[in-house]
Amino acid sequence: MASTFVCVSSYCSRMSFTDLLIILLLLGCFHGSLGKPFSGESLSPVILMPGDGGSQFYAKLNKTTVPHVFCEKQTSDYFNLWLNIYELAPYLIDCFTDNMRLVYDRKTHTTHNAPGVDIQIRGWGDTETVEWLDPSHFGFTSYFYYIAQELESLGYKRGVSIRGAPYDFRKAPNELGGMYKKLQDLIEDTYILNNKSSVTLIGHSMGNPVTLYFLNHMPQAWKDKYVRRFISLAGVWAGVIKTLRLFASGDNLDVYVVEAIKARLEQRSMESTAWLLPSDLYWAADEILVSRPERNYTVKDLKQFFLDLNFTDGYDMFLDTKDLIRDLTPPGVEVHCLHGFNLTTPGRLVYGPNMWPNSQPKVIPDDGDGTVNLRSLVACKNWIGKQKQTVHHQQFIHAEHMEILKDPRIIKYLKSVLLS
């Protein structure tokens, strides 16, 4: 602003105050009202927290066995594994799921990459790998891109005042300790980099409970200094019915070329899938979640559910993670909880004769954002009155779980909050 004023001020002696004021306004020296400079330096810097599937994965292979002869055993360098649309093609998807899957160790209660697979998650602190799921930037693989673009129009700068925190979304918080230390450092670095301005955390989907776990484990004095607010988009606060289908028969995640059952191997292996199973605090003990001719399953029948799937690792992972944020302890920072509603969302899965578990079930609809059930989305309202910081809750009709990231109503809300 100073340099712009100097450029104009040399002409002040030949110009009226009104003329000078008009020129200053046209040059953008003022934003909103007189005396309030529009400067990226005055904005709360933003860190983007992606959800399940929201970080790019690169893999390098040195395997001894593969599902098919056409699957690569070895690669000389890292290649794009997620999201790579070619990897999801018929037959090739078997190679993908074998590379992407985790292996659960019952003794240590930890998960590891498949044998011979090394995975890198790149772009820490930058935004490109959370703006796009596919590094080739196919239009339908955009993620935080539209939000980052709009923030730049406000004076934000990618890599400086907009930053990203990609992580291994296959894992739950109990295995993200290293990432959380990096996140603390990133927040503190961003604070310093932006003239000691406290940070706004913007999470999507699973990125919100991942962020909540982090905030619950940080001292209040640290949060008061470094975190301005937490904006949650489509938060999965109390689990989701959809995870039961991932375990039972797989889910193609609305990618029509993907056969759901082919994706099951990888989806089952993800500890985060077990972490997001429906909470018994939000689904009643007599509420049927999954049914088949031989048996019904409620939140109290998860052990039997996994026994009947012959996948007891799933139940062990559930036990490892079920209490990580179960009580939804308030985060201790200002919250803006935004989500959609009035969209058909899986509410109950019904397997007919000879369908269990390898065929796709009939889905009894529930209210939600198309992916997350409404009762889970609104659970953030429980924080109102339970922390001194303000909790704002707003729901947007027909704001779909993924489309919310480019919904004009959400963009407008974000802008109003960040400029306040």
Residues 13 and 137 in one domain: no
Strands (E), 360-417: 362-368, 391-397
pTM > 0.85: yes or no: yes
Tokens for 127? 């935004």
Write the CATH number for 171: 3.40.50.1820
Contact (CB, 8 A) for 207 and 146: no
pLDDT digits (tens, 9 = 90+) for 195-232: 999 999 999 999 999 999 999 999 999 999 999 999 99
Q: How many angstroms separate the CA atoms of 127 and 160, rounded?
A: 10
Query: Does any domain span residue 383?
Result: yes
**Neighbour order of strands in the sheet with 295-297:** 295-297, 290-292, 343-350, 362-368
Query: Does any domain span residue 372?
Result: yes
Query: Does any domain span residue 216?
Result: yes
Query: Does any domain span residue 34?
Result: yes
**369 noted as active-site residue:** yes
- Span 277-302, average pLDDT: 97
pLDDT digits (tens, 9 = 90+) for 365-387: 999 999 999 999 999 999 999 99
Q: How many angstroms separate the CA atoms of 31 and 160, rounded?
A: 21
Q: How many angstroms separate the CA atoms of 340 and 233, rounded?
A: 9
Query: Does any domain span residue 252?
Result: no
- What domain count does the chain have? 2
- Span 87-111, average pLDDT: 95
Burial class of residue 337, CB neighbours in 10 A (0-12, 13-18, 19+): buried
Query: Does any domain span residue 100?
Result: no
- Closest of 101, 19, 33 to residue 67, by C-alpha: 101
Query: Does any domain span residue 408?
Result: yes
Residues 31 and 131 in one domain: no
How many beta carbons lie within 10 A of that of residue 147, not counting itself? Answer: 25
Range of the domain at 405: 44-51+124-239+270-418
Contact (CB, 8 A) for 368 and 377: yes
Query: Does any domain span residue 259?
Result: no
52, 134, 251, 369: the catalytic one is 369
- Closest of 341, 339, 333, 320 to residue 388, by C-alpha: 333
pLDDT at 38 over 90: no
204, 336, 339, 401: the catalytic one is 401
pLDDT digits (tens, 9 = 90+) for 48-86: 999 999 999 999 999 999 999 999 999 999 999 999 988
pLDDT digits (tens, 9 = 90+) for 330-343: 999 999 999 999 99
**205 noted as active-site residue:** yes
205, 249, 291, 376: the catalytic one is 205
